[in-house]
Structure 1
Amino acid sequence: MEFNHYRLTSTWRLPAPPGPVYRALRDVPAYPHWWPQVRQVVRLDERTGRVRIRSALPYQLLVTAHERRQDPPRASARGYSRAGVLEAELAGDLVGWSRWTVGPDGAAGSLAVFEEDVRPGKALMRRLALPGRPLFLINHALMMRSGERGLRARLGSTLR
């Protein structure tokens, strides 16, 4: 096992169709409004932004995300025929990529799958890889759980 390599997956079941979920996830500058651990997003250009993140552990991450792929879900007469995909290249305190895949889940819901394949760019995280890995994984899980709650609330307020 390589302790400085993280392949993470989170699955969110959301009570909204794929279109609104995809649009909310595509709007990265709005994340701080509904995702407490995403403290700040600064747009650098049309396809790049800097994200400041802090979860339960007492450190923050600065990550530059550059859009690699943006494919909205495709709707058909019978629902959604193709999942939407958002993918970004990551640099800074985390180096690698992240991807959201948003598709239908039942009649009116969505399944949003977050995948991330990263290595720490931050020296402290690399040095603490062996003893810190369980804490880093718990920190990530807490952040993702909070993000799911925040997005549920945001979708509930925008779909009324």
Structure 2
Amino acid sequence: MTPHVYDLRSSWLLAASTEEVWAIIADVHMSWPNWWPNCSFAGPLNRVEPASSSQEDILKATTAHLNFKASLGYTLTITIHPTAVVTPSEIDFDAGGHLVGTGRVTLTAEAKQTTRMDIEWRVRPTQRWMNLLSPVAAPAFKAAHAHMMRQGERGLTKALAKQRSEHTK
């Protein structure tokens, strides 16, 4: 059976500058579990020697192992490894684990203090049960993904508000 390929896209509008959003999403500690509900580390970060001490090179030398608990009750363990980083606007990455493929996060300034964050995934599941169910369950898997992404957007919105309040103290 040929694995189903999922092209998943999300766009978030965030009341913050691209630099503020970048500071959180491109953190060299890949601390998404600090703000993304139902996301946790599945293991420690793996980091090879970066080419330099720049944020871009540190990110490209890092692989994060993350668990995402879906609303349907299953947990996906995904590795995220940045392959290209353009500060403060884009991160391309390879994905591995339960979903294999590529992704991209792009930040675009929309208006004063508003950033659009576009997230693209092109992945295929590696778990046998997901591949067997994909012909009939793909709409449910896509809906679970959309729900997880809305949770991430809400979590990032809260983290940006907290970041902003800490800077105004």
State if a TM-score over 0.5 links the two structures.
yes
2:161 is aligned to 156
Asked if 1 retains the 8 angstrom alpha-carbon contact of 2:3 and 2:125, the reply is no
**Which consecutive aligned stretches of 4+ in structure 1 deviate over 2 angstroms post-superposition?**
none
**SS of the residue 1:159 aligns to:** helix
Q: CA deviation at 1:34?
A: 1.1
**SS of the residue 2:46 aligns to:** strand
1:80 is aligned to none
Asked if 2 retains the 8 angstrom alpha-carbon contact of 1:43 and 1:49, the reply is yes
2:39 is aligned to 38
The CA deviation string for residues 33-90 of structure 1, in whole angstroms up to 9 with x for no partner, is 11112122530114212111112011111111111011113xxxxxxxxxx1011101
- 2:141 and 2:164 map into 1 onto residues whose CA distance is 34
**SS of the residue 2:93 aligns to:** strand
Answering whether residue 116 of structure 2 is matched by residue 102 of structure 1, we say no
**SS of the residue 1:154 aligns to:** helix
- 2:113 and 2:96 map into 1 onto residues whose CA distance is 36
1:142 is aligned to 147
- 1:111 and 1:3 map into 2 onto residues whose CA distance is 31
Identity score, percent: 30
Task: Give the root-mean-square deviation of aligned CA atoms.
Answer: 1.5
Distance 1:123 1:3, change over 3 A: closer
**SS of the residue 1:127 aligns to:** helix
- 2:46 and 2:129 map into 1 onto residues whose CA distance is 26
Answering whether residue 84 of structure 2 is matched by residue 69 of structure 1, we say yes
Q: CA deviation at 1:3?
A: 7.3
Q: CA deviation at 1:157?
A: 0.7
Structure 2 residue runs without a partner (length 5+): 48-60
- 2:24 and 2:81 map into 1 onto residues whose CA distance is 17
2:23 is aligned to 23
- 2:143 and 2:95 map into 1 onto residues whose CA distance is 21
- 2:26 and 2:111 map into 1 onto residues whose CA distance is 22
The CA deviation string for residues 81-135 of structure 1, in whole angstroms up to 9 with x for no partner, is xxx1011101110010111001101111101000000011111110111121111
Amino acid at match of 2:26: R
Answering whether residue 9 of structure 2 is matched by residue 9 of structure 1, we say yes
- 1:24 and 1:157 map into 2 onto residues whose CA distance is 11
1:86 is aligned to 91
Deviation larger for 47-56 or 26-35: 26-35
